[in-house]
């Protein structure tokens, strides 16, 4: 890549595969379980985290030399909280219905371990540009899993994608429903999200066996 050095490019691509925040580091699971019953909510959540993590990493990185290390967690929290409030207000102003679906989970981005984790592990020790790339990379890695889980849960659980009835109409018995297909209600419950994430981890580890820990 001409634009990015090899080292910088790795910041973007690593979290997408072998260092994925959800499937490898097992962070941010709560939100992955809670809001992935619909694809739309997953996408909005992914974008929100992209915004918060990308910008937050830059802000923390810029301030990294003036934050006293004893109160750094509080400073980080204030930065996240500010950004999350911006996201929350934007959602309430422009997508009110959706913000009701996401309800408390927008606020809970503050406690998403991925964000504090990246602040601590990366932004405090690196320049703003690299911190930005790291934030984007991790947020996209998180978002990809969220969207994949949301895709399967909405498709199999409700028979829709982004609200469109892709499998036919269950009430008028058209499309797949005409031959006796039924939506899988279990997919809409949180335990199934855990199992879907588990299956994704399983697939990833069987494709790349170096990820399997010795025990």
Partner 1 sequence: MSLKQNLHNLKEKYKGTKMAPAFNAIHTFLYLPNEVTHVGGTHIKAADDLKRTMNIVIMALIPCLLFGMFNAGYQHYAAIDNSLRADVLANFFTFDNLWIGIIKVLPLVIVSYGVGLLVEFIFAVIKGHEVEEGYLVTGMLVPLIVPVDTPLWMLSVAVVFGVVIGKEVFGGTGMNILNPALTIRAFLFFAYPTWMSGDKVWVYDAVNRTGTADAISGETILGSYAQNQEVMYSTFDKFMGFIPGSVGETSTFLILIGAAILIFTKIGSWRIILSAFVGAAVMGLIFNQVVAADIITESSKFYGLMNTVWWEHLTIGGLAFGAVFMATDPVTGSQTNKGKWIYGFLIGFISIMIRVFNPAYPEGVFLAILLMNVFAPTIDHYVVQGNVKKRLNRTKVKTA
Euclidean distance between CA atoms 65 and 123, whole angstroms? 11
From the CB of 182, what's the least distance to partner 1, in Å? 6
96: helix, strand or coil: helix
The DSSP code sequence of 30-61 is: HHHHHSTTSHHHHHHHHHHHHHHHHHHHHHHH
Cα–Cα separations (whole angstroms), residue 29 to 26, 35, 168: 7, 11, 32
From the CB of 186, what's the least distance to partner 1, in Å? 4
Q: Residues in the site for partner 1, rule: CB under 8 A?
A: 180, 182, 184-187, 189, 195, 198, 202
From the CB of 201, what's the least distance to partner 1, in Å? 11
From the CB of 211, what's the least distance to partner 1, in Å? 16
Nearer to partner 1, 60 or 192 (CB): 192
Nearer to partner 1, 60 or 187 (CB): 187
Euclidean distance between CA atoms 130 and 122, whole angstroms? 9
Q: What six digits make up the tokens of 211?
A: 């990820």
Nearer to partner 1, 125 or 198 (CB): 198
Nearer to partner 1, 129 or 202 (CB): 202
């Amino acid at each position: 890549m001409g634009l990015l050095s090899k080292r910088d490019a790795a910041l973007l691509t690593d979290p997408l595969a072998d260092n994925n925040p959800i499937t490898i580091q097992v962070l941010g699971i709560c939100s992955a379980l809670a809001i992935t019953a619909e694809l739309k909510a997953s996408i909005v959540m992914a974008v929100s985290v992209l915004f918060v993590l990308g910008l937050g990493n830059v802000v923390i990185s810029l301030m990294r030399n003036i934050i006293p290390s004893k109160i750094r967690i509080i400073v980080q929290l204030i930065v996240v909280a500010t950004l999350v409030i911006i996201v929350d207000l934007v959602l309430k102003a422009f997508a009110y219905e959706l913000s009701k679906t996401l309800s408390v989970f927008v606020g809970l981005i503050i406690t998403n371990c991925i964000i504090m984790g990246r602040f601590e592990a990366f932004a405090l020790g690196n320049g703003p540009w690299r911190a930005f790339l790291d934030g984007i990379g991790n947020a996209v890695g998180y978002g990809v899993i969220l969207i994949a889980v949301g895709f399967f849960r909405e498709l199999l659980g409700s028979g829709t994608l982004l609200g469109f009835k892709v499998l036919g109409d269950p009430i008028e018995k058209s499309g797949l429903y005409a031959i006796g297909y039924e939506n899988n209600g279990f997919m809409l419950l949180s335990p199934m999200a855990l199992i879907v994430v588990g299956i994704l981890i399983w697939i990833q580890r069987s494709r790349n066996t170096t990820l399997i820990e010795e025990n």
